[in-house]
Amino acid sequence: MATDFQRYDDVAIGDIMPPDPIRFEAKAEVVDAFLKATGNDDPRYRDGDAVRRVPSMLASFYLIDLLNARRSPPGGIHAKQAVRFHRSIAIGETLHLQACIVEKYTRKERPYVVAEFEARADDGALVASGRITSIWGKDA
Amino acid sequence: MSADFVPRTPGDLPAQFAIGAELPVLRRLVTQPMIDAYGHASGDLNPIHMDPDYSRTGPFGRTIAHGLMTLAFVAQMLNEWTDGHFDESGEIDIAFVGPVYTGDELTITGVVETVDFSDDGAVARVKLICKAGDRSILAGAAIQPISPIRKA
């Protein structure tokens, strides 16, 4: 079966990944699964407020969607991560995610790709932004 | 009467933001069921994390935890330190410097290295300390604007 991985040489600075933003909804069940998997029993995310708050590092879930959107071959390594939160989000909010390749370099014979990402709310407001540095998977 | 108060000098800072202050310590024992739960919840089913048989022949010889799961532990600790303000305005800049294996006991903490003051208030920079036993697994910093303090 043919795979649809992207070769390192075909990755270019300025590439937008994916071409159309990914939608990520902070559903209650997704947040519950995140809290359970990370052993987080902070009442801040469970109390009876009218608007239930979402842990910011739910970003660790949508960053995976962005990583997958780059279509790196298997064997890649997530080397560095920077993320800045601009405001908290609430259960039920939808985020729109996109990344742009800003740098490529080779160090110790390893091919690196650096992408900057943004997560925006429905109204376009910036919720989170940051930088993902990866070692690209080996081309077939 | 109380009022919001913006810290402008080191003397204005609450103790947990003072230079040299140690952050809370979060400990987590990493197990394969924990990794599996994170993988299924996040959708990252890479066999290097999820499949012990596959991983036995890989570069680490066994499964490793998702780096982003470790980052979630860091955020948890930072929210404890800031009473939830990290979710609203925090920042992390890290490198994954070592693998996390099943059976590792992680210790996640940090220390306030600097506090910068401006007309807008103060920003603390924290050196993160993240280890599995004696091994460093993650290196970098957190940056946290210090919110106005409510004083009587």
Count CA atoms within 13 Å of residue A115 on its CB side.
Answer: 26
Looking at residue B125, what is its pLDDT? 98
CB contact set of A61 (below 8 Å; sequence gap of 6+): A24, A30, A34, B41, B42, B43, B68
The residue of B76, B80, B128, B143 whose CB has the most chain A CBs within 10 angstroms, and thus the best one to mutate to test that interface, is: B76
**Which is nearest to A110 in space by CA: A71, A77, A140?**
A77
- Maximum C-alpha span of chain A: 53
What pLDDT does residue A47 have? 66
ipTM field: 0.92
Find the domain containing A88 and state its range: 8-135
Query: Which CATH number characterizes residue A72's domain?
Result: 3.10.129.10
Chain B residues near residue A65 by CB distance under 8 angstroms = 43
Q: Where do the domains of chain B lie, and which CATH numbers do they carry?
A: 3-151 (3.10.129.10)
The residues, ordered by sequence, that sit 6+ positions from B61 with a Cβ below 8 Å of its Cβ are B55
Amino acid at residue number A51: V
Supply the pLDDT for residue B12. Answer: 85
Determine the pLDDT at residue A49.
62
pLDDT reported for residue A133: 96
In a domain, A140, yes or no: no
Q: Three-state secondary structure along A103-133?
A: EEEEECCEEEEEEEEEEECCCCCEEEEEEEE
Answer whether residue A1 is part of any domain.
no
pLDDT at A38: 95
| Domain count along chain A | 1
pLDDT score for A1: 41
User: What is the rounded distance in angstroms from the CA atom of residue B32 to the CA atom of residue B65?
Assistant: 8
Instruction: Round to whole Å and give the CA distance between B117 and B130.
Output: 27
From the list B89, B91, B96, the residue facing A78 with the nearest CB is B96
- pLDDT less than 70: residues of chain A: 1-3, 47-50
The pLDDT averaged over each successive group of 10 residues in chain B (152 residues) is: 69 91 97 96 90 89 95 97 95 97 97 92 96 97 83 50
Q: Is residue A114 part of a domain?
A: yes
Nearest by CB: B69 against A36, A38, A80? A38
In a domain, A2, yes or no: no
Do B70 and B137 touch, CB atoms closer than 8 A?
yes
